[in-house]
Amino acid sequence: MSSLNLDDFTDLIERPDGGVRRDAEARRERLIVPPGSLGRLDDLGEWLSAAQGAVPVRPVERPRVVLFAGDHGIAGLGVSARPAGSAGDLVRAILDGGSPVSVLARRLGVPVRVVDMALDCAPDAFPKDVVRHRVRRGSGRIDIEDALTPEEAEAAFRAGIAVADEEADSGTDVVVLGDVSVGGTTAAAVLVAALCGTDASVVTGRGGLAIDDLAWMRKCAAIRDALRRARPVLGDQLQLLATVGGADLAAMTGFLLQCAVRKLPVILDGVVAAACALVGQRIAFRAPDWWLAGHDSGEPGQAKALDRMALEPLLKQGITVGEGAGALLALPLVQAAAALSAELPENPPPAPEQPPTEE
């Protein structure tokens, strides 16, 4: 019998402090720059104040990119432009500093953490701090079999909780969350379609490397078949992740919920992060108040999930590479909002009225 009770998250997760947000809004009214003239940066600054419980908001000084990695058996059907089982190559590029997220992270001075949950390679292929949370080698082919056993799903979910606690305890103040996977967008689309009650074609995108029409049709068929397996377990989110998710997606879901428990803001990257967030919302309805949508990747599944959670992307640059790169580009906006909210001076108080002088 599992000791993991997902209902606990509903009790543990509180909304960002509404009273602090009202104080931040009142302070914004007193700044020398007219209200509304900074656009969404005003809202971001007030959101950060509420998340931190502080007015003025504290600067965002210790961000971190956290990437959960895994291979998915569904990639063997040719639903991805990358070869099945090749997510390890992407991880190697990140660790070697040659991927887009590595370049951006160096430029922005943000450390990158990769967490191997189910890469299809030998566990000694990467450093111990990367592989120590690994649950299995690759996740199952979700159109015909479960991605994980119930025990593996719980282990992956708990691993995500542990990583969130590690980040919160180390002083990380904002997380940029992404995935490193091959086949992950297919699993994510299944989760979104199942939770939103839509058909496969509505959520099937082209993936990070823009698959051709034939691969898109294969992907759509795989999502349709996996959806048949997902619908009977919609009432049990952990079983849903075991059936049609994967170790990386289960870990990301646990990570997102525990970040909300620990009051650690998260910037979501693409469709995989959005799908996990949608599962998290089903578990604890207040949790999305702690998350930001970093960018619009163009994936229809991401758009569907973000709309369901009422999250509006900060950027729209057409970035489909994944690996947290698009969300990382949104981080300077969040940091700018914090700086403007904290450092702009307030209007001086009006001078007291002078009593009329006698003639």
Residues 166-183: tens digit of each pLDDT: 999 999 999 999 999 999
Q: Does residue 345 fall inside a structural domain?
A: no
Instruction: Report residues of the chain scoring pLDDT below 50.
Output: 1
The pLDDT value recorded for residue 163 is 98
The pLDDT value recorded for residue 1 is 46
| 3-class SS letters over the chain | CCCCCCCHHHHHCCCCCHHHHHHHHHHHHHECCCCCCCCHHHHHHHHHHHHHCCCCCCCCCCEEEEEEEEEEHHHHHCCCCCCCCCHHHHHHHHHHCCCHHHHHHHHHCCCEEEEEEECCCCHHHCCHHHHCCCCCCCECCCCCCCCCCHHHHHHHHHHHHHHHHHHHHHCCCEEEEEEEEECHHHHHHHHHHHHHCCCHHHHCCCCCCCCCHHHHHHHHHHHHHHHHHHHHHCCCHHHHHHHHCCHHHHHHHHHHHHHHHCCCCEEECCHHHHHHHHHHHHHCCCHHHHEEECECCCCHHHHHHHHHHCCCCCECCCCCCCCCHHHHHHHHHHHHHHHHHHHCCECCCCCCCCCCCCC
Q: Residue 264's domain spans which residues?
A: 63-332
Residues 41-52: tens digit of each pLDDT: 999 999 999 999
- CATH assignment at residue 301: 3.40.50.10210
Dihedral sign for Cα 60, 279, 217, 69, please. Answer: positive
Catalytic residues: 323
Q: Hunting for tokens 């900074």 — which residue is that?
A: 38
Q: Does residue 312 fall inside a structural domain?
A: yes
Domain total of the chain: 1
Residues 215-262: tens digit of each pLDDT: 889 899 999 999 999 999 999 999 999 999 999 999 999 999 999 999
Q: Does residue 215 fall inside a structural domain?
A: yes
The pLDDT value recorded for residue 29 is 87
The answer to whether the CB of 301 falls within 8 A of the CB of 271 is: yes
- What span, in angstroms and rounded, lies between the C-alpha atoms of 12 and 287? 10
Structure tokens at 353: 């009225």
Q: Does residue 346 fall inside a structural domain?
A: no
Q: Does residue 27 fall inside a structural domain?
A: no
pTM metric for this prediction: 0.93
